[in-house]
Amino acid sequence: MQKLAGILFILGALVAILGESRPVITNVFGTIDNPQLQVEYIQNDPTGWAVGNLLMGAGSLIAAIGVVLFARQVQSLSNNRNVRIAGYLGAAMAVVGALFWAIVLYNRVTTAPQEVVANMDDPRWMAVGYFLLTEVALTLIGFLLLQANYPKWLAWPVLVLGGLTLVASLFLGGIPAVHSFLFLILGIALLLLRSRSPQPLPSAT
């Protein structure tokens, strides 16, 4: 299940990056100080705008499924209460966050360009929820990696970077590309690690 989770992390990240890197997406978010120009970019390439946003949403959902599989794999190693709780929380937060993001991106595609530019992340609470939930999920993945005896060179960066992106989102706003980068690195690492399961964790007493 580790390998499958890694594949989903990589696939989700690459699909999201394909969406984030489309010219119309980079143009719109590169001209946030010029709403009229943003509207023109969307009007000139409505298909590219729709495809880019749909790819970002699909990528987030694929990565969230990867989180569920990874959490289940770690939970299967032990009845340790903290590990099981962290696994359930991380999986639930990743899935709910991805669903929130998919709704936000769907609204971008189905709303008139002028309204989209005026309210890019509508509904705002869902956009904020996506960033915070995904970043908490990444932090919990780092915790699970440590608890399951994965290499510290993988576990600590995931834990620390997940926490730092959470703090950054609280004060500066979130950047979806950061999630894609973290999931891509995590997925590659899980594929490169030996396929054997980590040493079982001690059961809670």
Higher pLDDT, 168 or 101: 101
Cβ atoms of 84 and 124 closer than 8 Å: no
Rounded CA-CA distance 88/83 in Å is: 9
Answer whether residue 188 shows pLDDT above 60.
yes
The reported pLDDT for the residue numbered 185 is 93
Answer whether residue 56 shows pLDDT above 90.
yes
Cβ atoms of 79 and 204 closer than 8 Å: yes
The reported pLDDT for the residue numbered 205 is 43
Answer whether residue 199 shows pLDDT above 60.
no
Answer whether residue 6 shows pLDDT above 60.
yes
The reported pLDDT for the residue numbered 140 is 95
Q: How confident is the model at residue 172 (pLDDT cuts 50, 70, 90)?
A: confident
Q: How confident is the model at residue 179 (pLDDT cuts 50, 70, 90)?
A: confident
Among residues 58, 48, 53, the alpha carbon closest in space to that of 14 is found at: 58
Rounded CA-CA distance 123/169 in Å is: 17
Q: How confident is the model at residue 178 (pLDDT cuts 50, 70, 90)?
A: confident
Q: What is the pLDDT of residues 145-162, one digit of tens each?
A: 998 888 999 999 999 998
Count Cβ atoms within 10 A of the Cβ of residue 83 and give its class: 0-12 exposed, 13-18 middle, 19 or more buried: buried
